[in-house]
Structure 1
Amino acid sequence: MKLYKALAITAAGSLFMGAAQAETYKIGITQNNVGVDSYQTTYEQAFIEAAEANPDVEVVVMDAGGDVARQIQQMEDLIQQNVDAIIIWPTNGQAVIPAVRKAAQEDIPVIVTNSNIAEEGFDFVASFSGPDNITQGRRSAEIMCDKFTEMGIEDEAQIVQITGQPGYTTAIERAQGFEDRLPEVCPDVTLMETQPGDWNREKSQTVMEAFLVKYDDIDGVYAGDDNMGVGALNAAKAAGRDGIIFVGATNFAVGYEAMDRGEYWGSIYQSPVDDAEAALQTAIDVLNGEDVPFLNYFDTPKITQDNMDEFSKPVF
């Protein structure tokens, strides 16, 4: 557990001896798995920096390390510490619902960040702050279809999909958005198989190696994030399989670099800094009694080789 406290008195405030200090909110966060990829590492750094910059916020920062049981225990710990609000990046959208419900019953507002919990738990959540993952999946399908149409293979293309961790809401929603949208825009494209890559580049490379052995003809790969997409790209390069269109989501630096080399076609631009700052601000807004939408999305636009110059290289 890491405790960060930001308490400061402004020069103007120090002139008024009797002025009441603003209330300091104690906000706890339990994250999914900081060490699994650079997005989550950057998110944590940005969250801490945002808290340190706010004199009215004290944060307790925890990481579940991808362990559902550990995250549930961290929720219990934060409830016992009587924090003012809890931010949770769920390890599993279904399994954490009882812990989220308990926090709500203790009148501690819960803000879900980045990846939502299952719908059954919505009654116990003050707000969700993060990307619209279904829209991301839909936009990735559009990117892939547009490229196939440009190539003239939209009536015959065959693709495979590599998803994130099973049971993880982001993985489920991005796959859902992609699978729902692709038949709408490119009805003759065939999705041959889907396998999980668990957000891991090395595992995704292994998954893609198996796809390459099994299928002689693969025109495209959709990966739930660029970390996995680049793993798949590495497998294809090692096997000498050229001409495959790679599309991801959450544009990592490695994805951006591969796009710049002309090896990776497109992705969805998403900032972990925006993600972290939005989560903290949502919690503060809820505690201040402001009107906060239940689904508090930030925008995640399409990025391809054609428009990548409009975007800065990701820092993660």
Structure 2
Amino acid sequence: MKKTMKFALACTTAMIGTSALAEAHASYTIGITQNNVGVDSYQTTYEQAFIAAAEANENVEVVVLDAGGDVARQIAQMEDLIQQEVDAIIIWPTNGEAVIPAVRKAHQADIPVIVTNSNIAEAGFDFVASFSGPDNVTQGARSAEIMCDRFKDLGIENEAKVVHITGQPGYTTAIERAQGFNDRLPEVCPNVEQIDEQPGDWNREKSQQVMEAFLVKYDDIDGVYSGDDNMGVGAMNAAIAAGRADGITFVGATNFAVGYEAMAEGTYWGSIYQSPVDDAEAALKTAIDVLSGEDVPFLNYFDTPKITQENMDEFSKPVF
């Protein structure tokens, strides 16, 4: 689905080519194809922030597209942007492997591609100008450290059992955060046992169902790691309904407002602070810098610190 902006969102190739307004005010035309704007509040806020940043820059015209979580639609959108001969393409991949051929086509057409938020698979790195977003492996590792530190404070680091709810299968962010958590937890808390891992698909309701099944299957659960707070709160709600939340440490990532609120209430322990506004603005700036000939690192990360009940007063409540 295409969005409309006052000067920047040309809905057809002809409009991009012939609009006198665009020619008068835009130095670059940048296309973006997003993953799935409606799936959660992070992606919705990201799109709003991206549009706002583009509107604030009179030298940029953007075409904003949403794949709706559909890989085939995203590939078609990439091909459409290539045909429109945009100056650069930003892609938030629906699937890090499946989009590589489309990214290669853009590269072959001499259109620089900036990957945002969730990277594509390594096989496609040669076709990408830069990745702009969080270091998801580090985020997973930091979540493991938060959980281990909490277990040590509780004195259960030698006996705790953990379940793990991952994001959408095949999605690079989900893979990387799970990798970071799974690699780091045994390093910092070698006696903690991870007893199960199931996908929650970034969906709160599905994650609640996954947690309900965990609670039936396991009498002893001391910690739950979820790939984002949306899923984490779903898991927490299942535990509250079952009367078992008091004995469980909940840790997530991408600190949603609901996660922040649950931390303030004392039912959710910690997360990783990540702003969709920073994410969107960084992606647009990276694209502009690439087009301007700036020296841009291939992995252009922005920082995502730990947030827990103990330090949350240092952070503003998320807007998503």
The one-letter amino acid paired with 1:125 is: V
In the alignment, structure 1 residue 274 sits paired with structure 2 residue 278: yes
Could you say which residue in structure 1 is the equivalent of 2:254? 250
In the alignment, structure 1 residue 240 sits paired with structure 2 residue 246: no
Aligned length: 304
CA contact (8 A) 1:144 1:247 kept: yes
Deviation at 1:22, TM superposition (A): 7.3
Map 1:171-250 → 2, pairs under 5 A: 171-241=174-244, 242-250=246-254
In the alignment, structure 1 residue 126 sits paired with structure 2 residue 129: yes
Give the TM-score normalised by the residue count of structure 2: 0.93
1:230-266 deviations in Å (ceiling 9; x for gaps): 0000000000012100000000000000000000000
Give the TM-score normalised by the residue count of structure 1: 0.95
Could you say which residue in structure 2 is the equivalent of 1:14? none
CA contact (8 A) 1:130 1:275 kept: yes
SS in structure 2 at match of 1:221: strand
Could you say which residue in structure 2 is the equivalent of 1:140? 143
SS in structure 1 at match of 2:114: strand
C-alpha distance in 1, partners of 2:135/2:199? Answer: 20
SS in structure 1 at match of 2:195: strand
In the alignment, structure 1 residue 169 sits paired with structure 2 residue 172: yes
CA contact (8 A) 2:166 2:198 kept: yes
Q: Which of 289, 295, 316 lines up with 2:299 in the alignment?
A: 295
CA 1:107–1:3: 2 relative to 1, 3 Å = farther
C-alpha distance in 2, partners of 1:4/1:105? Answer: 29
Deviation at 1:5, TM superposition (A): 5.6
C-alpha distance in 1, partners of 2:60/2:300? Answer: 21
C-alpha distance in 2, partners of 1:32/1:142? Answer: 29
SS in structure 1 at match of 2:107: helix
Could you say which residue in structure 1 is the equivalent of 2:5? 4
SS in structure 2 at match of 1:314: coil
Runs (4+) off by over 2 Å: 2-7
In the alignment, structure 1 residue 152 sits paired with structure 2 residue 155: yes
Deviation at 1:23, TM superposition (A): 5.5
CA contact (8 A) 2:133 2:300 kept: yes
Could you say which residue in structure 2 is the equivalent of 1:73? 76
CA contact (8 A) 1:252 1:314 kept: yes
SS in structure 2 at match of 1:4: coil
The one-letter amino acid paired with 1:169 is: T
Structure 2 unmatched runs, 5+: 9-23
Could you say which residue in structure 2 is the equivalent of 1:112? 115
1:151-207 deviations in Å (ceiling 9; x for gaps): 000000000000000000000000000000000000000000100000000000000
CA contact (8 A) 2:26 2:58 kept: no
CA contact (8 A) 1:140 1:302 kept: yes
Q: Percent sequence identity over matched residues?
A: 84
C-alpha distance in 2, partners of 1:94/1:196? Answer: 18
Deviation at 1:4, TM superposition (A): 3.1
CA contact (8 A) 2:211 2:238 kept: yes
C-alpha distance in 1, partners of 2:6/2:318? Answer: 28
C-alpha distance in 2, partners of 1:22/1:249? Answer: 39
Deviation at 1:37, TM superposition (A): 0.2
In the alignment, structure 1 residue 55 sits paired with structure 2 residue 58: yes
In the alignment, structure 1 residue 305 sits paired with structure 2 residue 309: yes
SS in structure 2 at match of 1:2: coil
Q: CA RMSD in A?
A: 1.2
Could you say which residue in structure 1 is the equivalent of 2:31? 28
Deviation at 1:66, TM superposition (A): 0.3
The one-letter amino acid paired with 1:103 is: A
The one-letter amino acid paired with 1:210 is: A
Structure 1 unmatched runs, 5+: 8-20
Deviation at 1:2, TM superposition (A): 2.5
